[in-house]
Chain A
């Protein structure tokens, strides 16, 4: 029996989350199939090294008919997927169509069958038993390091046969200008009210550029209009789990911590030694952001 991985592809680059999903799929001693919209065949043919045995290339993840046929024809009962909204939507349709259980925010799948997932925005974990031979796992990012494999991948191009009725029209598309999206970034540089005003974000952007990082902010900052809403991380904003999270001039309210507490390494820079964020940090620097950030920048040169 084979398992299936949804492969996320943005601007012809496949996300690390997709490779992490393939690594997890390989722990179950089955053939690992993938579905992607990336049509760069020479790139796809190299993905045996990421643990895939077979990859289906489809035109669009909106083509549910194609996805449904792949699942049916290959008797797929287990799906591992990054937690993007596109995949949540497809997974929900599969769950309803095939009556497969579905679990979000998966942190761990143990050999004894226990599945752990993150709840209360990372403030707690839930442990679940699944009494079914099928399951759709929506995986949190960075719960595992992706591994390399020695496999050869078969590529199957799937022609779109039906155009499912589309009841909407896209009037306008604005693409994220940043090179690195907040969700995909390994490093995130985040700043708060301690920066005093939007005009002071230049050093944050400089540091982000130097570290190949994405920028983020706290809720008061996006509420004040200093930064766009899509940069807001926290309980009511984006939940992220990068490898390194820099919190600069953010006091660390419980709502903010909830959105970032699954980051691998948290570095806090704050001039208030009593800022609650220090309790959740791996590294702390007590000092003025306007002094510390330029110093970090120059020591990276």
Chain B
């Protein structure tokens, strides 16, 4: 069984966001990590492999060579091989087309992604990839078990949680508590050095969306402190605002 885990490489969750004078994301002093949701997805794939050694795990990233150390980390956590599509991840549509074209060539049974990347947050890449390939997509998935050719998942919906039995192939957008994050051990790190990391050139994708500029959100107004013994002030202000 072949599992593909698509990972984003994103600024650490504690990062302060700023932009350079030529309006690019300022990467200086920023620590990059595997996206937290993809980290859950990869951890679950490795757990499944621990129970069934016939599972083969590939990881895929759309990004530049600066991401290679994070792909090595994914290999150290337990993936068997890594692929990188050599381009900035320009937008969801571009990334989805490139992932879909890769999946088409390499035939995977199960594709895991995060529910969204925490940099551009579109939450669309799994759905767009599924639409491009006509593969059933579920998101966000909080539980995953494989049972022969079927998988049992739980997905959150607007009205609650559904437990679903579905047949492969599938694309899943993952979210906690699907697994606990894994930290690579020494043996994993040593093994990762010799695992294969292949670089693939991207396909070009037409887009009518042109990025103009980035900005920081408007500053908040000064905080108003309310005395804990005089809470009526707060209640009245909220009422005034019609809240």
Contact = CB atoms under 8 A, between A and B. Distances in A.
Contacts of B17: 120, 123-124
A105 B139 CA distance: 17
Contacts of B123: 83, 85, 88, 104
A114 B243 CA distance: 31
Interface in A236-289: 236, 239, 243-244, 253-255, 258, 261, 265, 267, 278-287
A114 B213 CA distance: 10
Interface string A86-99: 10110111011100
A275 B1 CA distance: 49
Nearest to B131: A96
Nearest to B100: A96
Contacts of A92: 124, 127-128, 130-131
A124 B137 contact: no
Given A285-B231, A296-B231, A96 B223 contact: no
Interface in B225-240: 225-228, 231-232, 234-235, 237-238
Contact of B164 (A125, A169, A244): A169
Contacts of A132: 208
A170 B138 CA distance: 12
A181 B209 contact: no
A206 to B, nearest CB: 16
Given A104-B124, A124-B215, A254-B14, A176 B159 contact: yes
Interface string A212-246: 00000000000000000110000110010001100
- Is the interface on chain B under 10, 10 to 19, 20 to 34, or 35 or more residues? 35 or more
Interface residues of A, number: 80
Contacts of B121: 104-105, 118-121, 239
Residue among B37, B123, B158, B165 facing the most chain A CB atoms (10 A cut-off): B158
Contact of A124 (B152, B216, B241): B216
A291 interface: yes
If over half of A's interface residues share one DSSP class (helix, strand or loop), that class is named, otherwise mixed; here it is mixed
A186 B238 CA distance: 13
B217 A123 contact: yes
Nearest to B210: A129
A48 interface: no
A14 B96 CA distance: 32
B34 to A, nearest CB: 13
A173 interface: yes
Interface in B194-234: 207-217, 220-221, 223-228, 231-232, 234
Contact of B167 (A11, A167, A236, A279): A167
Contacts of A278: 223
Interface of A: 8, 10-11, 83-86, 88-89, 91-93, 95-97, 101-105, 114, 118-132, 167-176, 181, 183, 186-187, 229-230, 235-236, 239, 243-244, 253-255, 258, 261, 265, 267, 278-287, 291-292, 295-296, 299-300
